[in-house]
Every structure is written in C-alpha cells, then in structure tokens.
Chain A
Amino acid sequence: MTTRRMVLLGGVAAGGALIVGYALWPSHRRERENALAAGPDERFVSNWIKIANDGIVTVIVPHCDMGTGNITALTQMAAEELDADWSQMRGEQAPPDPLFANGALAEGFILSGQNIGYGQVPAFLRGLVGNSFRTIAEYKNLQITGGSSAVRFTGVYGMRVTGAAVREMLVMAASARWNVSPDACRTEKGRVFHGGKSFGYGELAAEAAAYTPSDNPVLKSPDKYTIVGRPVPRFDVPAKVNGTAQYGIDVRVPGMLYAALRIAPVFGAKLASVDSVAAEKMRGVSKVVKLDDAVVVVADRFWRAKNAVESLAPVWRKSGNEDETSARITAKRDALLKSGPVKSDVKTGAGADALAKGKLVEAQYSVPYLAHAQMEPVNATALFKDGTLEVWSGTQDGLGARAYCAEVAKLPLEKVTFHQLQMGGGFGRRLPGYFNFLRYAAQTAMAMPGLPVKLLFTREEDMQHDYYRPNVISCFRAALDGKGAPLAWVNDYTTEDDPNPEAHIVYDIPNQAIGAAKLTTSIPTGPWRSVEASWHGFFIESFVDELAHADGADPYAYRRTLLAQRPRHRAVLELAAQQAGWGTALPKGRARGIALFESFQTIVAEVAEVEVDDKGALTVHRVTAAVDAGTTVNPDGLRAQVEGGIIFGLGAVLNGAISIDKGRVMQANFPDYEMVKLADCPQIEVHLSNSDGPYGGGGEPGVPPLAPAITNAIFAATGARIRDLPVRGQDLVAAITHPPQKQTSG
C-alpha cells in the first residue's frame, strides 16, 4: 500500500533532479489539442494556452480546483507573462485527456514511487515530461494537486514559462507581418505594438501557432507584474452561487443506477456472508453486490439503495482488531515513546547532553484522530462496458485516479477513462492512496456490466471509513539559561512515517535533539489539511510558549528574540502582534495568545483573542493573521484560504476528536463530530506581507498556528495549559479559581 510519505514525496528519492515539466508541444500535438478542446475560431498556440480570433485567451489548467482558487491563480501567472488583457482571460480545468494532464500526469508518475529520470519515464509519459524541463530543487515541498502546490509548482515552473513562450510567438508573428525585428516590438494588454501600429493577440494567433515555442523564454522581472498580485475575482465563483457547478455527486449518465454501501465497521474485517433475498425484492433494487469488505446495494434510486442496504444484516469475518480502543492505542503510543526506539533526526551542538546545563522544563502534548469531513461525501460513478471502464469523480489527482481504477479493474490504462469533476472539499481526503470510494465504485460497476452506477457514501460511511489524521504524542525537554533563552531543545514524537521535517524549529537554539518513534496501528491514516504541520505547529508553539512563561518573558518578545537570524519570520510575527494590538489592555477574562509556523514555504503568525467566563465557557473573539507567502498571486484568494484554514483549525481545537471502540469509529455524523458554525466564527483579519521569498502555498499554512494561538491565549486568560486537544471537556474553571502567580502580558 502506498504510504502517505510516498504520496507526498514518492519518486523524489532518486537523488538526482526531479524533473516535472511543462512541455512545449511540437505543432502536430496542437492539432490534437485543437480537436479536443478548441472551438471553431480558436486554436492552441502552445500546450495549455489557446487563443480565439476575438482575442479571448483560455488557459487550460492541469489541476482541479477544490475551492482554493488555483485555476484563477495559474491563469494569472500565464496572463502576466503573456502581457494579456485580464478581461480577455479565461481559465478552464483540462479535459480528461492525458494530452492536457501535463502537470497531473507528471504528478501521477511521481506517485508511482519510481525514480524519475528521462530514460526511466514510461513511453506514454515521454511526450509530456520530455521536451523541456524545469528542475525543481526543493523536493520536500512537493505535493500533489492541492492549493499549496499548484502555484508553487505548476505555476512557477509551467504557467509562467508557457505564457512567456506564447508571448514570444505572438511577437514573432507580428514582426513578420511588419517585416521588422522582434526586438522592435513590445506587448501590452493583449496586443503587440511596433511604433504606433498594433495587432491584437486574436489577429495573430493563427500565425503564431506555426512557430515552435522556445523552451527557455525570457521571464518578466517581478517588479513589472501587473496581473500577478492583483485580487481578481475567481472564475469558479459564479457557478457556485446558483447551483450549476457540477460536483462528482451531481453526475448524471443516461440509464444510471445508484448504489449505497455498508463497509465492514471494524477496520480490516471482511464480509463473510449476507442474506440478500429480502433486500433484492425491495422496490427498485437491482442487485446486492458482495465485495471483499463491503456489501453494496444497486437500485434505481439512491434512497431505495440506502434503505435496502440498511435492511441487511451482513456477517463480518473477524480481523483481530475487534478489541481496539482509543485508550489502547494511546497507551501503546505513549509506551513507544518511552521505550523507543527513537530515530534521531536532528542533532546540533551537544544535543540532549546540554539539558544538564540549565533549568529543565518538560511538557508532553497530544492530538487525537480526526476525520476530514469535507462537505461532499465521497462518491464515484462508474460504467464497465465492453472491456472498458469509465469513471466520473472528484479527486485531487485525475491521473492518479485513472491509474488506480485501472489497477482495481485489472485493465490496461488505455481501457480506462477518468472524468475529473469538482470536489465539495478535499483537504487530503481525495488524494491518491485514499481512494476507497473509487475502488468500491469500480468493483460495483464491474458487477453490473453495461450499467452506469453512482456509488455514494452516506455521511456515516464517509466519517467511519476515512483515512484519519493520526493520533500523535510529542514530548519536549528544554534547558533554560536563566537569561531568557533556551540552551537546549529536545523533542521526541511518534509518527506513522519517517521523521517529519515539520518538527524542525526556526528558533535559534544552540543544542537540539529531535527524533521520532514509528507507531503502527490498525487505524488507516492520511494527510489532513497541512498534514504534519497541523500537529507539530501545536506542539512546538505550545512548548515555546511554556518556555517563555517559565522564563518570565512575554511570549511575543521571547519568540522575537529567538528569531534574530530569521528576518522574514520575525517580520511576520511583528506584523501579527502589531495588528492584533499585542500588549494593549483587554476586558477582564480576555487574553491573547500568539503562535508562528512556517509550512509549504509560507510563514504565518496568528494572534488569538479569547475569553473564558466564570463557568469555563470559551469564546474565541478574534484571530489576527500575518502571512508571508513570498509573491502573492491573488491576494484575495490567499486571504480566503487563510480564513478557511483558521476555521478548519478552530474545529480541531474546540471539538475535533475521532475515537475508536471495538475496532471501529464511534462518531458517525455532524451531531457527534461537531463542526464550527457561524456562531463560533471569530472576527478574522488576514494581513499579507510579501517578501522576496519563494512562492509559498496558500491552502494549508493558515492551519498550524491556530491551535497554539488559542491554547496559549487560554493559558494567558486562565492559567490552564491545554496540552491535549481538543479543548472540549477540559476543565477551565478549576484553573481560573487558582490563577498562576504571575501572568505575562498578551
């Protein structure tokens, strides 16, 4: 099985350069593109970019947009290099043909977990990864289609280059018409100029398409940007306010049937038997399909399928996980950290030996399992006919989905077609490696040859058969020098993976030892918005806060001092503190907490302002965020992502917990896995501070600092130090009645 690490990093262990391309296409390829995706009056000038006679420029984006605005942002990046007129730009998700799935295809290849080098690229991919390469040096930050990677990856290495190449082709076409040197021409707002004369891009497109694109076009210097950095409205928004946006769940195929399923509730259990006689007689039911670990009912309507599947009493074969409980997993996890082995990841200076040189501070933190709970329950529609499989679904990687379906169906790749639809939220749930919904849909379709079947998880199945954010514990020890700084930082944590780079700290501490102990359990886990950063952010920033208090220092000033060598981080911290009014007086019962975390190359600091009343009820009034994502493509889009990340993080701090009993998940639906609602939503302000840093991700970095900002604020308000999430159910009153001796400002 693919591990999460493989999904994120697979294929990059080659040691050499990872090559993910954008490939500029020889002209015969463009003919096929034109046939597939261009109208009568438009044509592809390069891969990804087509230009119509009326000057409308459409960028075909090889990513899906799950609400993070990446189609708009990538179109901005291409438009910038094109010197396009923004009002003439359009962005579209690539059609389901491998020809367009350049980025996605390359990503799909990465997923295969093989080393990448051109010689090793399978033939079907060569044309895509081939002609022209951009080397990506920072393997670590590689992620599949998700808001945090599209801009940094496809945008930086693909869209800008292809936009610049097309601009050069348009200039060549115009200069040929005027019979002047290309150097004597300039471009602006969708036109090529020479002196007082000009042509619109639409007029030149057909001639431009005849040139071979340069694979090394001249890129603009960022200070000349007029489109990148502008808060443009997203292309996908209008269809999302009138019900016309098509999600996976909305697909309608002629003759389509519906399927509901029941998966073995205990992880790892298999279907032994099920009496399907009565169910098969229920109205509308076509068939009861028995799968390895699930039973599926196919009917003419979803409601009938659901009622029928719920009427069944399947017998499950035991998996040995029947006695698993959260308490047992937690005990195993804690014991592992005590007894090891702990794999060392970082050692600087004297490491743990330096602990003896100062005042020891220790603390231990944990987070529970969490479900994704994206609003659209996972689903897929599939048709198996004449030895071919056609699948419709919303996933975070169309190519990976296609390859996975081929594997499930044991069909050659060319016999499988995949249609990528919009997703009602992803957050990691729909990444490759976590495709159980595709498996059940493909297997059901194969049991119903010739009939398209839409298989939809109920919320209960979605929540109980997710790939959860893991249950993690992290132990810290530090030595303080008595002069306001830590001498030593020692951190051991559990992981289900290799040691996490997210546990590395940005603070200047001379002696460090960081290591991980590998835990395995029967509970399936997977990436959850911001992945490891979501828990290490909480752990590290809580402990830094504890150190500040132990040193009698203001938590903001303390961090600031430790960031002397990190001007970008320090600037972000200062901006958040300043905008939040750090240090200014607050009404009784209220306090602020601060936290800073870098993830996906974006640095975010957040200040939370909370209130705990005399009954212990917590209200989060305000969250102020400062963000440095290097160059911001769409500031309004980035703000929306950080707002969303804060609210996503808030649910985890306040209420989020998936618990296990008898080998199964106890929570089933929103009443017992509570979501943040309008009434819980604080006032949120997001301040952007651009820097000369690399393009950072947008979809995830807002999450990690939120939990510690809130728990640090709770400490400042009450003296209660929350070391285990969520806050719900913990007694904040007891701490209030016995406040700590000294409260620092904040």
Chain B
Amino acid sequence: MAIDLKVNGQVHTLDVEPDTPLLWVLRDELGLTGTKFGCGVAACGACTVHLDGEAVRSCVTPVSTVAGKEIVTIEGLGAGGLTDVQKAWITHQVPQCGYCQSGMVMAVAALLKTNPHPSDADLQAAVTNICRCGSYPRIRAAVRELAGKA
C-alpha cells in the first residue's frame, strides 16, 4: 500500500504495510535514526516524535494513521539551528549515554509549546519518558530555566 508521509516538511511516498509502526518507517525506510527504539510498547518514550505539534510515541503509531499529517523528528526539530531546549540541554549537560534524549527533547519541546512556564509538577505529569542513566535532575533544572523558573 502506498502511503504519503510528510516528515520534517518533506513528502515521501512509501510502500509499507499499513500497520507498520511509524518508528520503523522513520528509522528503516527513511534512515532517520535519531528517533530511538526502547520498548515498542509505549512505555519509555525513546521514540517520541511530533505529530501536528503534539508528542506521540511512534512505536505504537501505525503509519496508516498519520498519512498527510505533519511529522517532525529530532532531525527536523533543530533543522534551523539548535532550539532553546537543545541549548539548555547542552548548558545543563543533560545527556549521559544520550539514548533517551531525542525522545526527551521532543517531549519537552512539545510541552513548552502548550505550556511555556511549566512547574515541576507539570513537567513530570507530561514527560513520563524513561532515562536509565538518571539524567532527570538535569532535565528538571534545564526545564526550570526554560520556564523562567530557575
């Protein structure tokens, strides 16, 4: 089945099974490997991308449901230079192994769009991604700064 997928502003026509998770289409069809696989069951957030501006877990998003929508991945987020979230991530030296961080950055970027001044409580309610390395204190500090609450 041919599906038109709009990723980072570019349209791709793909022949994939409709139930293929968006994650595997991004990684294996389009070579956008910045989006990571962690669990495949919507439990970790490593695969977070933006769908029409909202954070979704692409490992459980069938590609057929997102045809024609605006999909932005970590590669597209900073396409025009580092975003404020990414800059704050560097300032606070957030990443350790870094594997979860594409998903973290995407989740936080989506949160700040709807809630530019999140409290710690807003942050932890919205961002339930897993970081096994334990970068949470730095994520919290970076978001406090971005929220103007540092």
Please give the residue numbers on chain A whose beta carbons come within 8 Å of chain B beta carbons, in ascending order: 66-69, 233-234, 236-247, 249-250, 252, 258, 283, 301-304, 373-377, 422-427, 456, 458-459, 636-637, 640-641, 643-648, 669-671, 675-679, 681, 683-684
Which B residues lie within 8 Å of A239 (CB)?
98
Q: Which residues of B have CB within 8 Å of A459?
A: 38-41
Distance to closest chain A CB from B130 (angstroms): 5
- How many contacting A-B pairs (Cβ < 8 A)? 181
Report the minimum CB–CB distance from A727 to chain B (whole Å): 18
The reply to whether the CB of B149 lies closer than 8 angstroms to some CB of chain A is no
Q: Report the Cα distance A461→B138, complex, angstroms.
A: 31
Determine if B33 and A679 form an interchain contact, defined as CB atoms under 8 angstroms apart.
Answer: no
New A-B contacts (15) at CB < 8 Å, excluding given A243-B74, A640-B96: A67-B95, A236-B95, A237-B94, A240-B95, A241-B82, A242-B75, A249-B36, A249-B37, A303-B28, A422-B97, A424-B100, A425-B133, A675-B132, A677-B129, A681-B137
Contacts A422-B98, A669-B39 given: A646-B124 contact, CB under 8 Å? no
Choose from B40, B93, B134 the contact partner of A676 (Cβ within 8 Å): B134
A375 B97 Cβ-Cβ under 8 A: yes
| Inter-subunit contact A670/B98 (CB<8 Å) | no
Inter-chain contact A375/B90, CB cutoff 8 Å: no
Q: Are B99 and A303 in contact (CB under 8 A)?
A: no
B contacts with A, residue count (CB < 8 A) = 59
Known: A242-B34, A303-B21, A424-B97. A374 touches B132 (CB 8 A): yes
CA distance A303 to B58 in the complex (A): 13
Give B62-112 interface residues, CB cut-off 8 Å to A.
Answer: 73-75, 77-78, 82, 86, 89-90, 93-102, 105
- A4–B78 Cα gap in the complex (Å)? 43
Min CB distance B112 to A, Å, is 15
Partner of A375 from the list B17, B36, B75 (CB cut-off 8 Å) is B36
14 A-B pairs whose Cβ atoms sit less than 8 Å apart in the complex? A241-B90, A242-B34, A243-B75, A243-B102, A246-B33, A247-B36, A301-B28, A303-B17, A424-B99, A459-B39, A644-B135, A669-B39, A670-B43, A677-B130
Contact of B41 among A426, A644, A670 (CB under 8 A): A670
- A68 with B37: CB separation less than 8 A: no
Closest 4 CB pairs of A and B: A243-B34, A424-B99, A647-B134, A240-B98
Minimum Cβ distance to chain B for residue A306 (Å): 8
Beta-carbon contact of B31 and A252 below 8 Å: yes
Chain B interface, DSSP helix/strand/loop, else mixed: loop
Residues of A near B132 (CB, < 8 A) are: 373-375, 425, 427, 648, 675
For A234, what are the chain B residues with a Cβ–Cβ distance below 8 Å? 93
**Cα–Cα, bound, A643→B17 (Å):** 43
Q: How far is the CA of A677 from the CA of B124 in the complex (A)?
A: 8
- In the bound complex, CA of A159 to CA of B128 (Å): 40
Residue from the list A238, A373, A643 in contact with B134, Cβ < 8 A: A643
Q: How far is it, in angstroms, between the C-alpha of A675 and the C-alpha of B93 when the chains are bound?
A: 22
Judge whether A643 and B138 touch: CB under 8 Å: yes
Contact, CB under 8 Å: B24 / A303: yes
Q: Cα distance A675–B37 when bound, in Å?
A: 16
Query: A715 to chain B: closest CB distance in Å?
Result: 25
Contacts of A243 in B (CB 8 A): 32-35, 73-75, 102
User: Roughly how many angstroms separate A407 CA and B94 CA in the complex, as a whole number?
Assistant: 39
